[in-house]
Amino acid sequence: MTEKVLWVVAYKSLDDFKARAEMVGATAVAIRSDNNLLKAIKEFGSLNPKIKVFGWRWPSHFKDPLMNEAQKIVNLFAEGLDGYFVDPEKAAGKSYDWDLKHLEGLATEFMDTLRDAAGSRTLGVTSHYLAKSTWPSLPWKAFFEKADVLLPQSYWRSTAGTIGHGDPSDNYEVGIDRWTKAGGEPAKIIPMAGELGISKPTEIDEHVRAAIAAGRQQLHFYTWGPDVSEAVWNRVAAASVETSSLVAAAE
C-alpha cells in the first residue's frame, strides 16, 4: 500500500485539516511542531484507520533552543508521536541558518538525542533538493547518519517562482542524485512534491510517475492550505505508487 504523507505549516482548524487528510487517503500527516501536536496525536489516533502524526521543524542552530526542540519531541514520543523530520536550511543572518561551518557536532547531538528516544519511530531529514551543491557548508552527513528517511524538497514551483526547469520528473531524479552525492543512502531518499497551492493536477501525476519509476513506496505532499484547488486535491487523492491505480484514476 502507498504511504501518503500530507504536510502542513499551520491551520486555524484541526478539524478542517483532518478532513482533508482523510479525503486524500493520507496514511500520515507531518505537522510543524509549533502547532498543538499533542491534540493532533489524539485526534488522528482516534480515526479508523489511524493516521500517523509526524512533527517537523526548521530549528535554531543555537544550542539551547535546538535542544529544547529535541526535548519537546522526546516528550511527544512518549505521548504517541510517530516520528519527526528536521528541516535544516539556509537563512542568511538568521538563528536558523544551517549553511555555516562547524555545526556538525551540534547536528550530531540533536540527531543522537532524537534517535535514542525514537526507537523504531521514524526519524528523517528534509531540505533543499540540490543539497550541498547549493548549500555546501550545511552539515548534511551529520543529519543523514541517524535518519531513516531522506526527503529532498523536489518542488517544481514555489511562491518565489519556477524551480529547476519546472519539471516534476526531472526534479525528482535530481533530488535523488544530489542527496546521494551529499552522503545519503539512495534507498532512503524519497523526494517530496510541492508546492500544492501553485501546482497543476497533471504535475501531481508526473511526480507520482517519477516515484513509480524510481521504485519508491512513499509519497510526500507539501502543503495543505486553503489555496489548493479541488482538482489538485483530487489528484493527490488518486495518487498511488501502484501503476495500475494511477492509470485507472486518470481515465
List the beta strands (DSSP E) in the chain. 3-8, 28-32, 52-57, 83-86, 122-128, 149-153, 157-158, 161-162, 193-194, 218-222
Residue 246's pLDDT band, with cuts at 50, 70 and 90, is very low
Segment 198-226 mean pLDDT: 97
Residue 243's pLDDT band, with cuts at 50, 70 and 90, is low
Segment 222-249 mean pLDDT: 83
The Cβ of residue 139 has, within 10 Å, a number of other Cβ atoms equal to 23
Mean pLDDT of the chain: 95
Which has the closest alpha carbon to 25: 197, 242, 251, 176? 242
Grid cell locating 188: 532512503
Confidence check: pLDDT of 244 > 80: no
Confidence check: pLDDT of 32 > 80: yes
Give the integer Cα–Cα distance in Å for 80 and 127.
25
CB-based contact 134:172 (threshold 8 Å): no
220, β-bridge pairs: 5
Which residue segments constitute the domains of the chain, with CATH numbers given? 3-250 (3.20.20.80)
pLDDT at 2 (0 to 100): 83
Give the integer Cα–Cα distance in Å for 204 and 179.
22
The Cβ of residue 245 has, within 10 Å, a number of other Cβ atoms equal to 15
Please, is 200 exposed, middle or buried when counting C-beta atoms within 10 Å of its C-beta (0-12, 13-18, 19+)? middle
Confidence check: pLDDT of 20 > 50: yes
pLDDT at 1 (0 to 100): 59
pLDDT at 96 (0 to 100): 98
Confidence check: pLDDT of 188 > 70: yes
pLDDT at 225 (0 to 100): 95
Return the percentage of the chain with pLDDT > 70, whole number: 96
38-97 tens-digit pLDDT:
999 999 999 999 999 999 999 999 999 999 999 999 999 999 999 999 999 999 999 999
